[in-house]
Amino acid sequence: MTVPAGPRGPGGQLHVVVAPMRSRDLKAVLRIEDQVFDEAWSRRLFEEELAQRTSRSYRAAWVGDELVGYAGQMSVDDEAHVNNIAVAPAWSGRRLGTVLLADLVRTALARGSAHLTLEVAVGNAPAQALYRRFGMAPVGVRPNYYAEGGDALIMWVRDIDSGAYAERLAAIEASVAPVVDVERRA
């Protein structure tokens, strides 16, 4: 599979725009969802999530005219729960998962969250490595979490609103900057 080149930023980096996901984006989102997950979300589920604007935040990553990834989270009190994060297979290995997760953290902070959690398949080592980079640590297992019977690892990071975490996040974003020029849109 050939990896697309994409538009370039001022330093020659891949230029990525991360913006709110819209209903009109769902055709491309569902294409990625079907490629990445065995248990893909339906269009209706995404529409229901997008309709809950006060407690949900869904973001899409664009390279030029192509939607290349997306992520979403739910906010409850001072906690943000990552519902999903996916990058189109043709764009994997380009640090877009890192870009999307950093964007979710920034979005969670803007919504007043102090903690971040998610579930990830026990066997998904690459995703777990990404989450650990963001300070997430396993706290338990949800047996038979997935429809096919797979277990999920529960991961948390606390105090994302602290100065120490701000430094961690800034370092992660700085590590991506030589490769990806990120433009965040509200």
Q: Which position among 33, 58, 70, 119 bears the catalytic label? A: 119
Tell me how far apart the alpha carbons of residues 21 and 29 are, in angstroms, rounded to a whole number.
9
Is 148 a residue of the active site?
no
> Crossing angle, helix 163-176 and helix 96-110, to 10 degrees?
150
Q: Which position among 58, 131, 165, 167 bears the catalytic label? A: 131
Question: Under a CB-based contact definition with an 8 Å cutoff, are residues 10 and 177 in contact?
Answer: no
Secondary structure of residue 155 in the 3-state scheme: strand
Secondary structure of residue 12 in the 3-state scheme: coil
Is 49 a residue of the active site?
no
| DSSP codes joined into one string, 139-152 | EEEETT-STTS--E
Catalytic residue numbers, as ranges: 119, 131
